[in-house]
Amino acid sequence: MKSLKHLNKYLVKYKYRLLLGFLFIILTNFFKIFPAQLIRESLNLIKDKLSGKEFSTTSLLTDYIQDLSIGETVVLYASIIFLIAIITGIFTFFQRQTIIIMSRLIEFDLKNEIFQHYQKLDSTFYKENNTGDIMNRISDDVLKTRMYLGPAIMYSFGLLSLFIMVVPVMFSINVKLAIYSLTPLPILSIIIYLVSARINKQSEKVQSKLSDITTLSQETYSGIRILKTYVKDRFFSSKLNSENEIYREYSMDLVKTNSLFFPVMMLLIGLSTIFTIYIGGTLLIEDAANPLIPENEKIKIGEILSFVIYINMLTWPVTAIGWVTSIIQRAAASQTRINAFLNTQPKVKNNSNEKLNLKGEINFNNVSFTYPESGIKALKNISFNIPQGKTLAIIGKTGSGKSSIINLLMRSYDVDSGEILIDKKDIKQININQLREHTGIVPQDVFLFSDTIENNIAFGYKNELPAKSTIEKAAKDAAIYSNIIELPDGFQTKIGERGVTLSGGQKQRISIARAIIKNPQILIFDDCLSAVDTETEDIILTNLKSLMKDKTSIIISHRVSSVKNADTIIVMHEGGIIEQGTHDELIQLKGSYYETYQIQLLESENKK
Ligand SMILES: Nc1ncnc2c1ncn2[C@@H]1O[C@H](COP(=O)(O)OP(=O)(O)OP(=O)(O)O)[C@@H](O)[C@H]1O
Ligand SMILES: [Mg+2]
């Protein structure tokens, strides 16, 4: 239950709504007491009237109804009861309007809190937790905590206040009958608790199976092309079938328990009513036969009827205890999960809020780095220097640590040892957001949004919409313009799930345009020309030369053709730098770079 403490700050924030809600609950319950009283009174009075006896019940209305006929008395009482019912209804409405709305507001705040926190967390967090979990915390789990804030608080307080008000009234009417008729209630609530705990367990099983099925079908559809080319439809169908079969079984179990729930509840409520009538009737007969009890202390028919009404009033909230207990348990479990995420602190911290006037000199001094989540030592003692306005190229076998250098430069992670300096300042002392804002990166895995081409390119721009000409210029520089205008909808073409499928090279170039439009001080190309032919590559690299005149660029590639014009080339191997220099120097060296160059030269000649 401790985890729910996190929500207290919100309860404090909305304290006036909550207190007002409590007030409405009290008022509702206060007015709920009267109808039973009035029915008891009217019944006793009418009975006395019929038998021509003195009135044995005292009432505010006794004098007034003395002169009324029986019919008029009934109408009078009925109207008062009706009026009270309307008042009770109005207060019930306000009670929901305050408390349930408060729970919705907190739900909103809590979702925002979690979302804000997600944005602060670094890549390690996103590697360690899968998307499904991250989504569930903010949707499903928040929903469960809302059930605690809304219904659970409302019903618990309602129950408490109802008991405090009704039970004394019952005892004031008849002690013996009060004790007897209240006894079955705790048993009722325990039984309901057991049944609803079972329902929760079963519905959780159903839920988790359902999410398995959703994941499976989602994967099937997004991978439908590969699935068809590998002729795996049968396999996936049978997999889905067996999952569905389990889902059906779980659902049937749940339905069985659910269908038991209401009959059992009704039976128990019915039994307690019968019990009250039986005990009341027995007492009435005993009292009537006992001459020692004064007339106005004897139990009468009106008393029994009012008890039946009170017991019925109490049984619903009592059954709600069981229900509320399980709501609170689930909310606590959900909040524990939410808190675990909220308490996760990003390992990479932003240590500065200063504005950055980035020039773009980059220094790596003896940098080593191991990925915390896999323990893979990706970089060993890396040192290099890129003066402002120069181009560095990184080449090396797959898995040699090229992208890892970029991860560190963008502070997706922090170095284990050594230091990275930007404009001679330790990268840890630089405002991360500013650094990222001034850097244009084309990542190795292209990611495009399911949106128009125009919006995908414009995404790189500041927080405003760029002019059409700016977007077109970026597209031209990325050598994708002619491809775009050939499409029927041009820049307005939708790409992604429900749109046009672009080729790998086209996607890479849109991704390049997105980075270029930013007009960044540092530009990074991570292997993003791999799916582009050498001619187009040449065009793009030539365009870059003029675009990035006084700016720093880093180009990562497997191809010598992409890197040969760089000011410095470093050759990576197993996390370390094995060669470093200009193209000509490295050719002279006749080492690994030279070898790669020869092989690729041969390949391109063979193609011709
Ligand atoms: N996010 C990550 N978490 C854990 N290990 C990683 C992560 N990214 C890379 N690695 C590991 O670090 C090593 C270096 O990977 P890196 O991505 O830097 O290689 P690369 O030179 O960019 O390769 P490629 O040319 O295939 O892109 C690899 O062994 C890889 O498995
Ligand atoms: Mg890489």
Domain ranges of the chain: 2-342, 362-607
**Which pairing describes strands 568-573 and 576-581: parallel, antiparallel, or unpaired?**
antiparallel
> For a pocket test of ligand 1, which of 126, 371, 508, 578 has the largest count of ligand atoms closer than 8 A to its C-beta?
371
Quote the ligand 2 centre to 412 CA distance (angstroms).
14
The predicted-structure confidence for 57-71, as pLDDT tens digits, reads as follows: 666 677 777 777 888
Judged by DSSP in three states, 552 sits in strand
Q: Quick one: pLDDT at residue 427? A: 93
Task: Give the CB-side neighbour count of residue 247, counting CA atoms within 13 A.
Answer: 14
Which pLDDT score, from 0 to 100, does residue 415 have?
A: 93
pLDDT of the residue at 266? 84
Amino acid type, 567 = D
State yes or no: pLDDT of 141 exceeds 70. yes
**402 Cα–ligand 1 center, Å:** 8
pLDDT computed for residue 56 by the predictor: 65
pLDDT digit string (tens) for 542-578? 888 888 888 899 999 988 888 888 999 999 999 999 9
Q: How far is the CA of 590 from the centre of ligand 2 (A)?
A: 25
Q: Estimate the crossing angle of helix 175-182 against helix 233-289, to 10 degrees.
A: 160
Rounded Cα distance between 316 and 379, Å, is 66
- 2-342 matches 362-607 in fold: no
> Is 362-607 in CATH node 1.10.150.310?
no
Whether 364 contacts 568, CB under 8 Å? no
Cα 406 to ligand 2 centroid, rounded to whole Å: 9
Which residues is 572 bridged to in the sheet? 396, 577
What pLDDT, in 10s, does the model give residues 206-250?
888 888 888 888 888 888 888 889 988 888 899 999 999 999 999
Model confidence at 185, pLDDT cuts 50, 70, 90, reads: confident
Nearest Cα residue to atom 25 of ligand 1: 398
Average pLDDT over residues 157-176: 89
Does 53 have pLDDT greater than 80? no
Say what the pLDDT of residue 499 is.
66
Using the atom order of ligand 1, give the atom closest to the CA of residue 397: 25
Residues 438-470 pLDDT 10s: 999 999 988 889 889 999 999 988 778 888 999
Task: Give the ligand with the smallest distance to the CA of 373.
Answer: 1
pLDDT more than 90, % of the chain: 45
Mean pLDDT is lowest, of 173-177, 332-336, 496-500, for: 496-500
Quick check: helix, strand or coil at residue 222? helix
**Read out DSSP for 341-407?**
HHTPPPSS-------------EEEEEEEEE-TTT--EEEEEEEEEE-TT-EEEEEE-TTSSHHHHHH
pLDDT at 181 over 80: yes
- Whether ligand 1 lies within 6 angstroms of the CB of 408 is answered as no
420 backbone dihedrals φ, ψ, rounded to 5°: -115, 125
Per-residue pLDDT, averaged over 279-297, amounts to 84
The pLDDT score that the predictor gives to residue 84 is 93
DSSP string, 467-514: PHHHHHHHHHHTT-HHHHHHSTTGGG-BBSTTSBPPPHHHHHHHHHHH
Q: Which residues of 258-280 are buried (b: 16+ CB within 10 A; e: fewer)?
A: eeebeeebeebbeebbeebbebb
* Residue found under tokens 């106005």: 296
Q: Nearest 5°: phi and psi at 207? A: -60, -45
Task: Say which residue the tokens 């672009």 belong to.
Answer: 502
Residue nearest to atom 18 of ligand 1 (CA): 401
Q: What is the mean pLDDT of residues 486-513?
A: 86
Number of residues assigned to the chain: 608
Mean pLDDT confidence for 74-98: 92
Average pLDDT over residues 95-114: 94
Tokens representing 365 are 């001094």
Residues 104 and 145: beta-carbon distance below 8 Å:
no
Instruction: Determine contact, residues 14/98, Cβ cutoff 8 Å.
Output: no
* 3-class secondary-structure state, position 521: coil
Residues in contact with 296: Cβ distance below 8 Å, sequence separation at least 6, in sequence order: 56, 57
The ligand with the least distance to the CA atom of 396 is 1
Spacing, Cα 504 to ligand 1 middle (Å): 21
Q: Ligand 1 pocket, 373 CB below 6 A?
A: yes
Q: Is 361 within 8 Å of 552 (Cβ atoms)?
A: yes
Cα distances (Å, whole numbers) of residue 288 to 37, 42, 53, 181, 297 = 22, 20, 15, 20, 11
- What residue's CA is closest to ligand 1, atom 8? 404
- The radius of gyration computed from the CA coordinates of the chain, to the nearest angstrom, equals 38
Of 318, 102, 284, which Cα lies nearest the Cα of 191? 318
Confidence (pLDDT) at 356? 84
Nearest CA to ligand 1 atom 17: 403
For the cut 70, the answer to whether the pLDDT of residue 191 exceeds it is yes
Could you tell me the distance, in angstroms and rounded to a whole number, from the CA of residue 443 to the centre of ligand 2?
9
Ligand 1 pocket test, pick from 123, 347, 376, 572 with the greatest ligand atom count within 8 Å of Cβ, gives: 376
- Which ligand is in closest contact with the Cα of 526? 2
Mean pLDDT score, 105-113: 95
**439: CA distance to ligand 1 center in Å?**
21
Query: Which residue's entry shows tokens 């269908």?
Result: 259
Mean of the pLDDT values across residues 392-404?
A: 93
Q: Check if the beta carbon of residue 45 is closer than 8 Å to that of residue 73.
A: yes
Residue 523 is which amino acid? L
**β-sheet with 362-370: strand ranges across:** 377-386, 362-370, 417-422, 425-426
Contact between 408 and 415 (Cβ < 8 Å):
yes
Report d(CA 130, CA 92) in Å as an integer. Answer: 43
Helix (H, G, I), strand (E, B) or coil at 146: helix
| Amino acid identity at 540 | I
Is there an atom of ligand 1 within 6 Å of 374 CB?
yes
CA of 572 to the centre of ligand 1 (A): 12
562 neighbors 529 (Cβ within 8 angstroms):
yes
Question: Please, what is the average pLDDT of the chain?
Answer: 88
Helix (H, G, I), strand (E, B) or coil at 57: coil
| Of 425 and 63, the one with more pLDDT | 425
In which residue are the tokens 């009217």 written?
42
Closest protein CA for atom 30 of ligand 1:
399
Question: For residue 323, what are the contacts with CB-CB under 8 A and spacing of at least 6?
Answer: 155, 192, 193, 196
pLDDT at residue 325, as a whole number: 85
Residue 291 pairs in a beta bridge with none
Q: Ligand 1 within 6 A of 403 CB?
A: yes
pLDDT at res. 317: 82
Residue 576's pLDDT is: 93
Q: What is the pLDDT of residue 58?
A: 67
Burial-class residue 338 by CB neighbours within 10 Å (0-12, 13-18, 19+). buried
Q: Give the pLDDT of residue 575.
A: 92
Superfamily designation of domain 2-342: ABC transporter type 1, transmembrane domain (1.20.1560.10)
**Which token pair is 220?**
């099937």
pLDDT of residue 73: 83
Q: Residue 109's pLDDT is what?
A: 95
- Cβ-Cβ contacts under 8 Å for 331 (sequence gap 6 or more): 4, 144, 145, 147, 148, 149, 152
Is 433:495 a contact under the CB 8 Å cutoff?
no
Q: 497 falls in which pLDDT band (50, 70, 90)?
A: low
Q: What is the pLDDT of residue 470?
A: 92
pLDDT of the residue at 604: 78
* Residues contacting residue 466 through CB under 8 Å, at least 6 positions apart: 458, 517
- Cα 574 to averaged position of ligand 1 atoms, centre (Å): 10
